[in-house]
């Protein structure tokens, strides 16, 4: 059994996928990129602003599922340039405290809409 989760505070999916799917006690949040939900354009301001926007979209989706960042157990972080990793990590670290989730960070050749960053998470319902 699966439940589709959709937040009005994050961009609607641009393809045949859901923002998040809950199955059992797991919530799988689809990869979020730094686009402005209002106009579909990339968020200006560089990688810090874009990372913050992605994390806020993830927060909104988790909230819709009745969760927060403390429930996240796994993060997948995709960057088109690992040279910005320290800046991303600086912003990312503001969203987690104490017991950090497992994570991988991968450099990729390209991301949808020419984004520089995409993040997906898996969370566990209590």
Measured CA to CA, the distance from residue 119 to residue 32 in angstroms comes to 5
Nearby residues of 47 by Cβ (< 8 Å), 6 or more positions away: 84, 87, 88, 116, 117
> What is the per-residue pLDDT across 85-106, written as a single tens digit (0 to 9) for each?
999 999 999 999 889 999 999 9
> What is the per-residue pLDDT across 6-49, written as a single tens digit (0 to 9) for each?
999 999 998 999 999 999 999 999 999 999 988 889 999 999 99
Domain ranges of the chain: 3-124
pTM of the model: 0.97
Confidence tier at 72 by pLDDT (50, 70, 90):
very high
Looking at the predicted structure, is the pLDDT value of residue 56 above 90?
Answer: yes
Looking at the predicted structure, is the pLDDT value of residue 79 above 90?
Answer: yes
DSSP at 9: T
For residue 14, how many other CB atoms are within 10 A of its CB? 11
Looking at the predicted structure, is the pLDDT value of residue 114 above 90?
Answer: yes
Architecture (CATH level 2) of domain 3-124: 2-Layer Sandwich (3.30)
**Region 49-72: what's the mean pLDDT?**
98
Of the two residues 80 and 99, the one the predictor is more confident about is 80
């Amino acid at each position: 059994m699966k439940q589709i989760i959709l937040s009005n505070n994050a961009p609607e999916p641009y393809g045949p996928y859901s923002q998040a799917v809950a199955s059992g006690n797991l919530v799988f949040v689809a990869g979020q990129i730094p686009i402005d939900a209002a106009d579909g354009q990339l968020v200006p301001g560089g990688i810090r602003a874009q990372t913050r926007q992605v994390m806020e979209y993830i927060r909104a989706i988790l909230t819709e599922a009745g969760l927060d960042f403390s429930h996240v157990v796994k993060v997948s972080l995709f960057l088109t340039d690992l040279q910005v990793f320290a800046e991303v990590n600086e912003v990312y670290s503001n969203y987690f405290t104490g017991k950090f989730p497992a994570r991988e960070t991968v450099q990729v050749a390209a991301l949808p809409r020419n984004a520089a960053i995409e993040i997906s998470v898996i969370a566990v319902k209590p």
